[in-house]
Homo-oligomer: A and B are copies of this chain.
Amino acid sequence: MTTPNAEGSETEPKPSDSTIGPNGREARAADGSAIPTVHIREVRQGKKPGERYVRVHRPFHETFREAGPDTLVARQRAYAPRSKLGRSWQGIRRFLIGVPLATSQLAHERLSKVKALAVFASDALSSSSYATEEILRILVLAGAAALSLTLPVAGAIGLLLAIVAISYRQTIKAYPLGGGSYIVSKDNLGTWPALIAASALLTSYVLTVAVSISAGVLALTSAVPFLHEHRVLLAVSLVGLMTLINLRGVSESGTIFAAPTYLFLVTAFGMIGFGLFRIATGSLVPDEAATAAALASWQESGMVEALSALLVLRAFAQGCAALTGTEAISDGVPAFKPPEWQNARATLTWMAIILAALFLGISYLATHLGIIPAVDSHESVVSMIARSVFGDGALYYLMQVATMLILVLAANTAFADFPRLSWFLARDHFMPHQFSFRGDRLAFSTGIITLGIVSALLVVVFNADTHALIPLYAIGVFVAFTCSQAGMVKRWWTRRERGWHYGLPVNVVGALTTGAVAIIQAVAQFTHGAWLVIVLIPIQVIILRRINAHYMRVSDQLAMEPTAEPMRELPDPILVVPVPGLNRAVGRTLSYARALSKNVTAVHVTDDLEEAGALKRRWKEWGTDVPLVILESEYRSLNGPLMLYIDALAKKDPSAPITVVLAEYVPRHWWEWPLHNQTALRLKWALFFRPNTAVVDVPYHLVR
């Protein structure tokens, strides 16, 4: 449909068809608005001289919605895969990960205090299932007498927990939008401390997954011993499962978290309460024979040590694993129902009280019942306590299942925290930008996959052994605590906001205590694995720093002032087409090259001049005006002579970009891939490093 210029114009543009405007670029639709560039204008000469018809196509209409001039919104089907391979891959992804979500579907559930406790506290609360055992396993090295120190050590850790919790109450108020250690340090202390906190946290998130999953598997294998030898496989499978679940984008749904967390609280407090009741009524007495046997097994193992201050410090350091996860609430303040910070504070207080009660309760029962893991036992201390208290019945198994579930949940929180911190770091250009892309399901896929792989490796290397992982674990957490608390101290001091007379000393105590504990961790656990973390954190900091420096350099180089740097006019590009012979793919590639430029040369590299002669004859028969140059390569290398030829070409006009046009075969089946394009790939790799050289891939789709 073509309509003359001034008259007969339509008032309503028809879908996917034409609107009319006056001559050329200034075309306007009937309603007077500019015709957007997303429409295609076709100008024809009318019958009268000077009369022109303008026909406007709207080819995008079927698949895009127009959101303004030059702005198209892709409809859902834009995301359908095209190739067979793509469709199969999408099928697998849909099955595993689910259908994509639109960015606008990104919404945060606001959590009540009850749900928030479940979401944010699972990591901290679950620590109670292994912290006591870690203390016991150190003290037992110095024999029965040393075990009497279990409760004092646990008490000291309880005190530490109180200090940390009170300190973080300050952070919550100061950072109602979420105050992770990285944010607080960056805000108040600058880049270096922030990166130290970030590295410490990244390390400890990886360890959270490894430790929690290993402990969760231990809870399972304590109840079902024959699974013990498959523990690594079980743990790795769980990590894999959690990676998948998180790629699906489990939001921190309170409902999902509430059930296992409260199940654990009920069963654990049930165990402690019932245990205390049975002890009070005299129906539960220590199994002294078992205790003696376990002690003897340690004596025989040859691992005994004298009781020393260092040993007690190590017991304390190991037990500090109970505090991991405490900072989670201060990270997630915005997820609370209003008034956010007040609700978050209350939840933190409750969490600390519950955790202390669990930890001290379990420690008391273990001490009172004389429960000591034998040197080669594969049963957890909590499992031994539960067996003593509940007997070998359903309640015992419920306790083990609840323990396992909350530990898996605890690992899951790392799957939310690690990618989020990576996103912060990527946004600030400290980590590769891929970490800032949201996947189909709005989850930060790169971070999730990275965490899954690294923690699975850790589980394999450490044989899913919680006790071996713990010495690496708490140090990162306490380094992050210290950075965060020190940041708060600085903040109070410089801002002198209302309440600073109270807040400052609280955070000073917090910073000094957590700092001291970090040093204790480093010293007492150094030879037991902490050295690895002490080495890794600075390396990570340097890597983050260097990534940042690189991105900054790049952004400096790329930054441009539009008005000061108008688009450059380049001379005509010189096109070079390497040809292996003369066939349809070569013919098509040359046609394409000629459509781009008049300056095209075909180049044939060979070590066989006879064959080259035959090609020249065929070329002449073909009658193309594209000249053919033969390069003889005595060393059979294709790339070398071609690169040199390009160098020589470039000498005449160094500013003219050289363009190499390559035919690439697209086979119909994936298994045919290794049969093609090997040479082109190597050539592309070589050309990639040559300045001022572009490469054009002209795909030739094989139809059979």
Which A residues are closer than 8 A to B by beta carbons?
A: 37-38, 40, 57, 59-60, 62-64, 67-68, 70-75, 77-80, 82-83, 85-86, 100-104, 432-434, 437-438, 440, 547, 550-551, 553-554, 556-560, 562-563, 565-573, 582-585, 587-588, 590-592, 594-597, 601, 607, 609, 612, 616, 618-619, 621-624, 626-637, 640-641, 643-645, 647-649, 651-652, 657, 659, 664-667, 672, 674-676, 678, 684, 686, 688-691, 693-699, 701-704
Contact call A591/B568, Cβ cutoff below 8 A: yes
Given contacts A560-B584, A584-B559, contact A666 B644 (CB under 8 A): no
What 3 pairs between A and B have smallest CB-CB spacing? A74-B641, A562-B622, A558-B583
Complex Cα distance, B569 from A55, in Å, reads 26
Complex Cα distance, B587 from A566, in Å, reads 9
Interface majority SS on A: helix, strand, loop or mixed?
mixed
A644: which B residues are within 8 A, CB to CB? 63-64, 74-75, 77-78
A to B CB contacts below 8 Å, 25 in the list: A57-B652, A59-B648, A60-B645, A63-B644, A63-B648, A71-B630, A78-B640, A80-B640, A433-B675, A440-B635, A547-B675, A554-B676, A557-B584, A558-B583, A558-B585, A560-B587, A563-B622, A565-B584, A566-B624, A569-B591, A572-B595, A666-B688, A690-B699, A694-B699, A695-B696
Contact call B566/A622, Cβ cutoff below 8 A: yes
- In this complex, what residue of B is CB-closest to A83? B689
**A103 partner, pick from B77, B607, B672, beta carbons under 8 A:** B607
A71: which B residues are within 8 A, CB to CB? 609, 612, 629-632
Given contacts A64-B645, A78-B633, A612-B71, contact A591 B567 (CB under 8 A): yes
Contact call B557/A702, Cβ cutoff below 8 A: yes
Contact call A72/B645, Cβ cutoff below 8 A: yes
**A567 partner, pick from B563, B594, B609, B649, beta carbons under 8 A:** B594
Query: A37-B601, A570-B591 provided; 6 other pairs, C-beta below 8 A?
Result: A82-B643, A103-B635, A554-B665, A567-B587, A568-B588, A572-B595
Contact call A641/B78, Cβ cutoff below 8 A: yes
Nearest Cβ on chain B to A509's Cβ, whole angstroms: 41
- In this complex, what residue of B is CB-closest to A61? B648
Nearest Cβ on chain B to A569's Cβ, whole angstroms: 7
Complex Cα distance, B684 from A557, in Å, reads 25
Nearest Cβ on chain B to A21's Cβ, whole angstroms: 16
- In this complex, what residue of B is CB-closest to A617? B562
Contact call A672/B550, Cβ cutoff below 8 A: yes
Nearest Cβ on chain B to A42's Cβ, whole angstroms: 8
A699: which B residues are within 8 A, CB to CB? 688, 690-691, 693-694
Complex Cα distance, B618 from A565, in Å, reads 12
- In this complex, what residue of B is CB-closest to A605? B74
**A627 partner, pick from B37, B551, B570, beta carbons under 8 A:** B37
Contact call A78/B636, Cβ cutoff below 8 A: no
A570: which B residues are within 8 A, CB to CB? 591-592, 594-595
A557: which B residues are within 8 A, CB to CB? 584, 702-704
Complex Cα distance, B644 from A74, in Å, reads 8
- In this complex, what residue of B is CB-closest to A442? B636
Contact call B704/A698, Cβ cutoff below 8 A: no
Contact call A74/B631, Cβ cutoff below 8 A: yes
Contact call B573/A560, Cβ cutoff below 8 A: no
Complex Cα distance, B595 from A572, in Å, reads 6
- In this complex, what residue of B is CB-closest to A695? B697
Most B CB within 10 A of own CB, among A641, A678, A691 = A641
Nearest Cβ on chain B to A425's Cβ, whole angstroms: 13
- In this complex, what residue of B is CB-closest to A703? B557
Given contacts A86-B689, A635-B100, A688-B699, contact A640 B559 (CB under 8 A): no
Nearest Cβ on chain B to A430's Cβ, whole angstroms: 11
Nearest Cβ on chain B to A426's Cβ, whole angstroms: 10
- In this complex, what residue of B is CB-closest to A665? B554
Complex Cα distance, B688 from A85, in Å, reads 12
Contact call A70/B616, Cβ cutoff below 8 A: yes
Contact call A565/B553, Cβ cutoff below 8 A: no
A635: which B residues are within 8 A, CB to CB? 74, 78-79, 100-103, 440
Complex Cα distance, B60 from A62, in Å, reads 53
Contact call A675/B550, Cβ cutoff below 8 A: yes
A666: which B residues are within 8 A, CB to CB? 688-689
